[in-house]
Chains A and B, each alone.
Chain A
Amino acid sequence: EKDVAPDSRLLRRVREAALQTENLSPFINMKSSTSLTDFFLALAICNTVLVSTATEPRQRVTVPPPIKPSGITLEKIHQIFQRLKLASLSQSFSSSQSSSELGASFSAKNTEEHLAALDCCDNDNDCCAGGRDDKLQGKDSMDIGNASLDEVFKSVTNSSLPTDFCYEAESPDEAALVYAAQAYSFTLVSRTPEQVTVRLPQGTLLTFDILYTLGFDSVRKRMSVVVRHPLTKEIVVYTKGADSVVMDLLEDSAKADISGEKRMKRIKEKTQKHLDYYARDGLRTLCIAKKVLNEDDFRKWANFRREAEAAIDNRDELLMETAQNLETKLTLLGATGIEDRLQDGVPDTIAALREAGIQIWVLTGDKQETAVNIAYSCKLLDQRDTVFTINTENKETCESLLNLTLEEVRKNYEAEKTQRKFFGIIPTSFSASEAPSPEFGLVIDGRTLNIIFQGNLEDKFLELTKYCRSVLCCRSTPLQKSMVVKLVRRQLKVMTLSIGDGANDVSMIQAADVGIGISGQEGMQAVMASDFAISRFKHLKKLLLVHGHWCYSRLAKMVIYFFYKNVSYVNLLFWYQFFCGFSGGTMIDYWQMIFFNLFFTSVPPLLFGVLDRDVSAETLLDLPELYKSGQNSEIYKLSTFLLTMLDAFYQSLICFFVPYLMYEDSDIDVFSFGNPINTISLLTILLHQALEMKTWTLFQLVAMIGSVVFYLVFSLIYNATCVVCNPPTNPYWIMEKQLSEPTFYLLCLITPVIALLPRFFIFALRGTFGASLILKAQQLDKLPKGQRDLEIQKLRSRKQTTGVPVASPASNYDLDQNVSHLCVSPFLHPAAAAVSHEDTESQEHSASEANPLGKLRLEEGYYFFNKWAEEGSTATASSAGPSSGHYPLVPNRLATPGQYGGKLTKSKDKFNHGSHRRSVSAVTL
């Protein structure tokens, strides 16, 4: 997180610039150098970061040791940087290469806990020109450069970190920026409410007086600091904020001369391009700007501000107004991109959850490009997916867009369905090699969401999302997040789970059925609002697939078992009513009856409900489809319930009437009749549970045997000691008497056998014919480890040969009830920024291409069209078909995206036994 690998060239130039500032008098304004210095000063100053040193007790334990003595790490970062640079350079030549490179770099970065971020700072033509030269050189002599650059990095790292400053920031992003500045030798040394000290690369300490701090808020989306420069005595406003906001506040260059205006324009354009580029790489972008105030203006403003602060009415509005007054006519210093690193195992987890039939939505506040990119990198969207993007501010457009998309998607699915039928009739035409058709992804932004909510378009939206494999909502506010969750929960009648780590996810977490907080750097609000807290996103996989599955199967089985237990026991008393004149008499002593549920048969079911594992954790993780048993309520459903009730009736019949027939027309007395029935019933109920139970540990065994032993011991003692107790009647000496009779033992032996025989027989049949995945998994569990892995591989590969897409059919057809929705918000791990001076000249976009993503993929053989742009609306929809070559995806007209739908083929079979066999037969034929 703190390891910031500075870009060498930029570093060099920073050094030079700093040197210049020192050598030449500070009053001489060297434009490029000061803006560079300013930029880093702003990075270091414009925040609310608290400084503490390693020796101070303030330091939090969670802060990792600042120095990571690993040359390898540095080297790795360095390589990544090189690659990134290379990627950007080569983008114009070959985009496919770039994307693959990008992918590689992302995966490589996952290995370490830090950052890579880019920064652009092109204030000047010269800068850019120099940068370009540098880059070209770097490209030519990459190998030569490696070693020397490494040295530079090391020296920098070592020199800049001798004093171990620990920064505590409100958000990790802020800290990341400070660390980035530190990497360029602009070290934030101390901060008090009045002053902030920064050490410059030369080692001089600059102490700025902080005049005002305008804190960050989500409306303004920026923060500012007003400081007095110690050397120039200028009053400077540094503003840091979301690019969209800051860009609008930049100084009008009208008053400047024409060349200046041109330059400013170009800078702005270029910066915007950089920003787009960062966003596409999944970086979180910020703009840094500054403004120099003269003394008078400042004093004026300060008065306003003071008034606003002192105001009683409308204080908030006034404060806001003053802040807005100040933050105008800014000069752009640069932009930063902070990589929000994916945590370990996010793509893996998402893939597994998908396989488990969970629909995943991402609700994020990031901008669209960032979000889409992250979605790609975490395998939420596949390169083959068709992605619909809906951005609009107009209700009508939005509605028509939704309609059109919906139509197209439906066409696609109908085509698939007919294909399915076709295959059903003539199985020989089934070909296992056919790849699945593209899934659909939907990208929607906050404004569009607003329109959907306001314009009663929810139904259409949800209808559309039903067909989509994943949905991305970007730029959404916390309120919108929770509204989306509520909408999905209410309208689709599904179980929703929200997971997030930030304070802005709290509302969403609370709105969902299950809220999960990730404890991390963004504070504890999410955790405190959540039902479950985990430390890593990847743990969600285990939480859902293993513990979720266990929890469901345990609960379901235990509930059924409890029903069974009570029905079968109380029924005994019911049968007895036929023989005691329906008088409500019981043949079992009251105490033994009370203790039956309380002690004799209480611990084993509890253990069963707490400890039972129907399938081992490893198998559950290896076969995510097992999770579907919970979604489809496969264990606790009406038929199971009825069957169990039937079984309970049968068992109680047996438990009553076998002793009845045995003791019919004999001199048996009431309690002597009830005693064997009670004992038999106890044995039957416990043995029934033994049949149900899948995990046998010492606990369960002890509990089970202990229950029987306890029953016997209790009965013996109770029946021996209770001569006149418990009036009016008691079972004195009955247990003892019966234990001395062989009939009792013979009864206890045969009755449970008869009672459990049907269930046992059905279990045995199911074990042999068992088609359910759970049973199969249970059988896999019994195999030795190596063999088990092998079998799982086979099972999975078999599934793939049948061509079932990873996100399984359940999510497409049975969506209404079965699929859980998972709303994910930042499962990201913010990492610090490295600053590099990137050259964008080589990356030539044509402005007409609204969606840079589309361009990227155009060269990869994906088809991209921009239909809505033609209609003159603001919306864009990009669609990418598979490039695999199986499908001739060449629509005749750009405007009819649905046309190729009919050509898509898809072998979509539920993952079940039947389909296996079919595929097998097809192959053997």
Chain B
Amino acid sequence: QIDYTGTEPSSPCNKCLNVSWDSTPPCTCTINFTLEHSFESNVFMYYGLSNFYQNHRRYVKSRDDSQLNGDNSSLLNPSKECEPYRTNEDKPIAPCGAIANSMFNDTLELYRIENDTRTPITLIKKGIAWWTDKNVKFRNPTGDGNNLTALFQGTTKPINWPKPVYMLDSEPDNNGFINEDFIVWMRTAALPTFRKLYRLIERKNNLQPTLQAGKYSLDIAYNYPVHSFDGRKRMILSTISWMGGKNPFLGIAYITVGSICFFLGVVLLIIHHKYGNRNTSADIPN
């Protein structure tokens, strides 16, 4: 887990802290880190944000599911919920709304440093969203041909985006509304400190661990401003067990509750043995 917000002066990303979010080219920084243990199975790469209230009532509402579902009329006439991110310069915004407008746009790249050579690690960007979201809930607008540029004709990009939605990715099945980064972002987080899946690192073969212990460096194209709301940005590498993410809480809870139950059981047993037959005929005078 690496914090790359860059609030500390020593942090390599400190220089990017006050760079305007839409500067071109983006401010980049590199953070080196060392993995103590190797990751054996598939690794999930997350980005984490703190103090970001994605669950704010008005923020959560600011989207148009019909538009995202590929509805053509909604595409050109987005829902009023999207205000004030509904239209820009008399053109409907696609995708409209505050959620889409504030999409996370840092680019993270991971390199393994071996003997001063940086080998890039393949980050898979597909398969990070729910299958149902990608295939059912989010759809590109329908129309003639597969040319997204044509399909999104008449709409404009969200105000804060550097490029329109049909240029999010080069691959056609990961572009437009069905871009998985976009889909992941649109699933608003429940808590102000959250993480979102960014990339997958698949295990290549059975002989080597996915990520060996050693030195790595993280290249960041620092676009996303969090300093204004005292937010933090992190990159997290994690594996997943059958139970989901790594959270020891449930185990602790079960052990604790189990112990308490056992303890109470014993107490009640003792009490019952001592006083239990009080209500039977024991104390009736003859």
Q: Which of A579, A583, A724, A730 contacts B57 (CB under 8 A)?
A: A583
Smallest CB separation, A416 vs chain B (Å)? 24
Interface residues of B in 227-247 (CB under 8 A from A): 242-245, 247
- Could you list 14 examples of A-B contacts with CB < 8 Å? A583-B55, A583-B56, A664-B193, A667-B196, A668-B189, A670-B189, A723-B69, A724-B65, A729-B61, A732-B137, A746-B243, A750-B253, A757-B257, A801-B285
Question: Per-position contact with A for B253-283: 1 when CB-CB < 8 Å, else 0?
Answer: 1100100110010001001100110110101
The answer to whether the Cβ of A679 comes within 8 Å of any Cβ in the partner chain is no
Smallest CB separation, A637 vs chain B (Å)? 24
Known: A583-B56, A728-B63, A729-B61. A658 touches B130 (CB 8 A): no
**Sample of 19 further A-B pairs with CB below 8 A, known A673-B190, A743-B250, A924-B285:** A580-B55, A581-B192, A584-B57, A662-B247, A666-B195, A668-B189, A669-B190, A670-B54, A732-B132, A732-B137, A733-B133, A747-B250, A757-B261, A765-B268, A768-B268, A768-B278, A769-B278, A779-B279, A798-B285
Check B64–A727 contact: CB distance below 8 A.
Answer: yes
The answer to whether the Cβ of B191 comes within 8 Å of any Cβ in the partner chain is yes
Check B285–A743 contact: CB distance below 8 A.
Answer: no
The answer to whether the Cβ of A917 comes within 8 Å of any Cβ in the partner chain is yes
Total count of chain A residues near the partner, CB < 8 A: 60
Check A764–B268 contact: CB distance below 8 A.
Answer: yes
List of B residues within 8 angstroms of A670 by Cβ? 54-55, 60, 188-190
The answer to whether the Cβ of A147 comes within 8 Å of any Cβ in the partner chain is no
Complex formed: what's the CA distance from A175 to B74 in Å? 87
Q: Which of B55, B62, B132 contacts A585 (CB under 8 A)?
A: B55
Smallest CB separation, A719 vs chain B (Å)? 10
Check A581–B56 contact: CB distance below 8 A.
Answer: yes
The answer to whether the Cβ of A665 comes within 8 Å of any Cβ in the partner chain is yes
The answer to whether the Cβ of B225 comes within 8 Å of any Cβ in the partner chain is no
Check A798–B245 contact: CB distance below 8 A.
Answer: no
Complex formed: what's the CA distance from A774 to B65 in Å? 57
Known: A580-B53, A750-B253, A757-B260. A665 touches B194 (CB 8 A): yes
List of B residues within 8 angstroms of A923 by Cβ? 285
Complex formed: what's the CA distance from A135 to B154 in Å? 123
Smallest CB separation, A892 vs chain B (Å)? 40
List of B residues within 8 angstroms of A728 by Cβ? 60-65, 79, 81, 97
Interface residues of A in 707-734 (CB under 8 A from B): 723-724, 727-730, 732-733
List of A residues within 8 angstroms of B281 by Cβ? 791, 794
Check A723–B136 contact: CB distance below 8 A.
Answer: yes
Nearest A residue to B82, CB-CB: A728
Nearest B residue to A585, CB-CB: B57
Which A residues form the contact surface with B (CB < 8 A)? Answer: 579-581, 583-587, 658, 660-674, 723-724, 727-730, 732-733, 737, 741-743, 746-747, 750, 753-754, 757, 761, 764-765, 768-770, 776, 779, 791, 794, 798, 801, 916-917, 919-920, 923-924
List of A residues within 8 angstroms of B268 by Cβ? 761, 764-765, 768
List of A residues within 8 angstroms of B264 by Cβ? 757, 761
Nearest B residue to A783, CB-CB: B280
Q: Which 9 A-B pairs have the closest CB atoms?
A: A673-B190, A585-B57, A583-B57, A728-B81, A580-B55, A669-B187, A733-B132, A581-B53, A583-B56
Check B194–A668 contact: CB distance below 8 A.
Answer: yes
Q: Which of B66, B192, B243, B245 contacts A579 (CB under 8 A)?
A: B192
Total count of chain B residues near the partner, CB < 8 A: 61
Complex formed: what's the CA distance from A742 to B247 in Å? 13
List of A residues within 8 angstroms of B190 by Cβ? 579, 587, 663, 668-674
Complex formed: what's the CA distance from A663 to B247 in Å? 8
Nearest A residue to B281, CB-CB: A794
Check B55–A730 contact: CB distance below 8 A.
Answer: no
Check A583–B250 contact: CB distance below 8 A.
Answer: no
* Count, A-B residue pairs, CB within 8 A: 170
List of A residues within 8 angstroms of B79 by Cβ? 727-728
List of A residues within 8 angstroms of B53 by Cβ? 580-581, 583
Complex formed: what's the CA distance from A798 to B275 in Å? 20
Check A754–B275 contact: CB distance below 8 A.
Answer: no
Smallest CB separation, B277 vs chain A (Å)? 10
Smallest CB separation, B237 vs chain A (Å)? 14
Check A579–B132 contact: CB distance below 8 A.
Answer: no
Smallest CB separation, B231 vs chain A (Å)? 13
Check B58–A776 contact: CB distance below 8 A.
Answer: no
Interface residues of B in 78-114 (CB under 8 A from A): 79, 81, 97
Smallest CB separation, A920 vs chain B (Å)? 5
List of A residues within 8 angstroms of B245 by Cβ? 666-667
Complex formed: what's the CA distance from A660 to B189 in Å? 13
Smallest CB separation, A652 vs chain B (Å)? 17
List of B residues within 8 angstroms of A583 by Cβ? 53, 55-58
Check A580–B57 contact: CB distance below 8 A.
Answer: yes
The answer to whether the Cβ of B141 comes within 8 Å of any Cβ in the partner chain is no
The answer to whether the Cβ of B48 comes within 8 Å of any Cβ in the partner chain is yes
Check A768–B55 contact: CB distance below 8 A.
Answer: no
Q: Which of A658, A662, A737, A776 contacts B279 (CB under 8 A)?
A: A776
List of A residues within 8 angstroms of B284 by Cβ? 794, 798
List of B residues within 8 angstroms of A765 by Cβ? 268, 271
Complex formed: what's the CA distance from A270 to B196 in Å? 109
Complex formed: what's the CA distance from A746 to B271 in Å? 31
Complex formed: what's the CA distance from A746 to B243 in Å? 10
Check B60–A585 contact: CB distance below 8 A.
Answer: yes
Known: A579-B55, A658-B253, A729-B65. A920 touches B283 (CB 8 A): yes
Interface residues of B in 38-56 (CB under 8 A from A): 46, 48, 53-56
List of B residues within 8 angstroms of A669 by Cβ? 187-190
Nearest B residue to A677, CB-CB: B190
Check B56–A580 contact: CB distance below 8 A.
Answer: yes
Residue among A728, A741, A791 with the highest chain B CB neighbour number at 10 A: A728
Check B253–A585 contact: CB distance below 8 A.
Answer: no
Complex formed: what's the CA distance from A665 to B190 in Å? 10
List of B residues within 8 angstroms of A665 by Cβ? 48, 191, 193-195
Smallest CB separation, A656 vs chain B (Å)? 12
List of B residues within 8 angstroms of A581 by Cβ? 53, 55-56, 192
Smallest CB separation, A720 vs chain B (Å)? 9
The answer to whether the Cβ of B200 comes within 8 Å of any Cβ in the partner chain is no
Q: Which of A586, A662, A741 contacts B249 (CB under 8 A)?
A: A662
The answer to whether the Cβ of B197 comes within 8 Å of any Cβ in the partner chain is yes
Complex formed: what's the CA distance from A93 to B46 in Å? 110
Known: A724-B71, A728-B65. A770 touches B249 (CB 8 A): no
Interface residues of B in 150-189 (CB under 8 A from A): 184, 187-189
Smallest CB separation, A718 vs chain B (Å)? 14
Residue among A741, A750, A768 with the highest chain B CB neighbour number at 10 A: A768
Complex formed: what's the CA distance from A671 to B187 in Å? 9
Check B56–A585 contact: CB distance below 8 A.
Answer: yes
Nearest B residue to A743, CB-CB: B244
Smallest CB separation, A774 vs chain B (Å)? 13
Complex formed: what's the CA distance from A673 to B192 in Å? 13
Nearest B residue to A726, CB-CB: B65
Check B254–A667 contact: CB distance below 8 A.
Answer: no
Complex formed: what's the CA distance from A776 to B280 in Å? 10
Complex formed: what's the CA distance from A584 to B190 in Å? 13
Q: Which of A667, A723, A768 contacts B189 (CB under 8 A)?
A: A667
Smallest CB separation, B193 vs chain A (Å)? 6
Q: Which of B187, B191, B260, B285 contacts A664 (CB under 8 A)?
A: B191
Smallest CB separation, A577 vs chain B (Å)? 10
List of A residues within 8 angstroms of B56 by Cβ? 580-581, 583, 585
Smallest CB separation, B3 vs chain A (Å)? 13
Smallest CB separation, B25 vs chain A (Å)? 30
Nearest A residue to B244, CB-CB: A743
Nearest B residue to A665, CB-CB: B193
Smallest CB separation, A739 vs chain B (Å)? 13
Smallest CB separation, B79 vs chain A (Å)? 6
Check A724–B69 contact: CB distance below 8 A.
Answer: yes
